[in-house]
Amino acid sequence: MTLDTFRSLLAEKPFRPFRLVMSSGQTYDIRHPEAAMLTKSDLLVGTDLEDDGVPARFKICSLLHVTAIEPLPTGASAPRGNGEA
């Protein structure tokens, strides 16, 4: 995936949640653009969101290892992924 792909995804108005699928099979859900930070080669993904919406941890996801981007359903009843952001 390219840097521009992620710039576009994170800048969409309104934001549309998405799931990253990594080459390892691990997945990370990006439900808010504030929970992800883009660098030249990586996407830092906030995980373990607290009640206030602030991530407790983050994962560094190499853009080279993102194999797919899947849209997530919106709304409060949306299922949470194993690396939920």
| 83 within some domain | no
Is there a domain that residue 56 lies in? yes
Which candidate, 37, 27, 35, places its Cα nearest to that of 67? 27
Tokens of 36: 């992800």
Domain presence at residue 79: no
Domain that holds residue 7: 3-71
> Residue 75: its pLDDT value, please?
65
* pLDDT band for position 79 (cuts 50, 70, 90): very low
CATH of the domain at 14: 2.30.30.100
Total domain count for the chain?
1
Confirm if 45 and 30 have CB atoms less than 8 A apart.
yes
Which tens digits make up the pLDDT trace of 9-54? 999 999 999 999 999 999 999 988 999 999 999 999 998 877 887 8
Contact in structure between 56 and 45 (CB atoms under 8 Å): no
Q: How many CB atoms lie within 10 A of CB 31?
A: 21
